[in-house]
Amino acid sequence: MKTNAEYSAANDALQGQFFARVWRLTTLYWRSEEKGMAWLLLLVVIALSLVGVAISVAVNSWYREFYNALQNKDLAAFTHLILYFCGIAAVAILVAVYRLYLTQMLTIRWRRWLTEQHFGAWLAHKNFYRLEQRGHTDNPDQRLAEDLNSFTDSTLSLGLGLIRNLVSLVSFSVILWGVSGSIEVFGVNIPGYMFWAALLYALVGSWLVHLVARRLIGLNNRQQRYEADLRFGLVRIREHAESIALSDGEANEQQRLMGRFHNVWSNFWELMKVQKRLTFFSAGYSQIAIIFPLVVAAPRYFAGKIQLGDLMQINSAFGNVQESMSWFIDAYASLAAWRATCDRLLSFRQALVDGAEQAEHPAIQRASGEALSLDGLSLGLADGRSLLEPTSLRIAPGEHVLLSGASGSGKSTLLRALSGLWPFGSGHLSLPADSLFLPQKPYLPIGTLRAALSYPHDAERYPQERIEQALRSCRLEPLIARLEQADHWERVLSPGEMQRLAIARALLAAPRWLFLDEATSALDEADEAALYQLLQEQLPHTSLISIGHRSSLKRFHSRQLRLENRHLAEAPAVLPA
39 or 142: which leads in pLDDT: 39
From CA 122, how far away is CA 276, in angstroms rounded?
A: 39
Beta strand residue intervals within 357-444, DSSP E: 364-367, 372-380, 386-395, 400-405, 425-430, 435-438
pLDDT surpassing 90 at residue 462: yes
Smallest CA-to-CA distance from 453 within 412, 507, 397 is with: 507
- At 9 the pLDDT is 47
Output Rg (C-alpha) for the chain, integer angstroms: 34
> How, if at all, do strands 559-564 and 400-405 pair?
parallel
Name which of 441, 472, 471 is nearest 454 in CA terms. 471
Secondary structure, 3-state, 516-539: EECCCCCCCHHHHHHHHHHHHHHC
Distances (CA, A) of 57 to 91, 244, 498: 14, 65, 69
CATH class belonging to 365-571: alpha beta
Asked if residue 487 lies in contact with residue 449, where contact means CB atoms within 8 angstroms, the answer is: yes
CA geometry: angle 535, 462, 512, nearest 5 deg: 40
Question: What's the rounded Cα separation, in Å, for the pair 492 and 447?
Answer: 12
Name the phi and psi angles at 431, rounded to 5.
Answer: -140, 135
d(CA 439, CA 517): 5
What pLDDT is stored for residue 181 in this prediction? 66
Instruction: Write b or e for each residue in 258-275: b if 16 or more Cβ atoms lie within 10 A of its Cβ, otherwise e.
Output: eebeebbeebbeebeebb
Position with higher pLDDT, 258 vs 57: 258
Q: What is the pLDDT of residues 334-375, one digit of tens each?
A: 888 888 888 888 888 888 887 777 777 777 888 888 889 999
What is the residue type of 295? V
Q: Record the pTM.
A: 0.71
What's residue 13's pLDDT?
47
Q: Compute how many other C-beta atoms are within 10 angstroms of the C-beta atom of residue 391.
A: 20
Please state the separation of Cα 107 from the chain's center in Å.
16
59-68, 78-87, 225-234, 235-244: which has the minimum mean pLDDT? 235-244
Of 183 and 44, the structure prediction assigns the larger pLDDT to: 44
Residue 136 has pLDDT above 70, yes or no: no
- Among residues 374, 433, 371, 437, the alpha carbon closest in space to that of 129 is found at 437
430 Ramachandran zone, left/alpha/beta (phi>0; psi -120 to 50): beta
DSSP letters spanning 348-369: HHHHHHHHHHHHHS-SEEEE--
Give residue-wise pLDDT tens across range 280-294. 887 887 787 777 777
Q: For the ranges 383-387, 488-492, 552-556, which has the lowest average pLDDT?
A: 383-387
In this predicted model, what pLDDT tens digit does every residue of 175-217 receive, in sequence order?
A: 777 776 666 666 667 777 777 777 787 778 778 877 777 788 7
Rounded Cα–Cα distance for residues 153 and 157 (Å) = 6
Beta bridge partners, 427, equal 364
Work out the pLDDT band at 48, boundaries 50, 70, 90.
very high
Q: What is the C-alpha to C-alpha distance for residues 437 and 433, in angstroms, rounded to an integer? A: 12
- Please, what is the average pLDDT of the chain? 84
- Containing H/E element for 571? strand 567-571
The predicted pLDDT at position 51 comes to 92
Residue 147: how many CB atoms within 10 A of its CB? 24
Residue 233 CB contacts under 8 Å (≥ 6 apart), including other chains: 256, 257, 260
Q: How far apart are alpha carbons 286 and 172 in whole angstroms?
A: 18
Strand partners, 378: 426
Q: For residues 403 and 411, is the Cβ–Cβ distance under 8 A?
A: yes
Q: How many CB atoms lie within 10 A of CB 150?
A: 20
Question: Hey, how many other C-beta atoms are within 10 angstroms of the C-beta on 323?
Answer: 19
Kind plus residue range of the DSSP H or E element containing 564: strand 559-564
Closest by Cα among 507, 439, 442, 520 to 468: 507
Q: Would you call 464 exposed, middle or buried from its count of C-beta atoms within 10 A (0-12, 13-18, 19+)?
A: exposed
How far apart CA 522 and CA 502 sit, in angstroms, is: 12
Domain with CATH 3.40.50.300 in the chain: 365-571
- Residues 295, 304: Cα–Cα separation, whole Å: 15
User: Mean per-residue pLDDT for 501-523?
Assistant: 93
pLDDT given at position 281: 80
242: buried, middle or exposed (CB in 10 Å: 19+, 13-18, 0-12)? exposed
How far, CA to CA in Å, does 521 sit from each of 133, 499, 508, 531? 25, 8, 21, 12
Domain 25-360 has CATH 3.30.70.260: no
Residue type, 260: R
User: Which segments within 127-210 are labelled E, that is strand?
Assistant: 182-185, 188-191
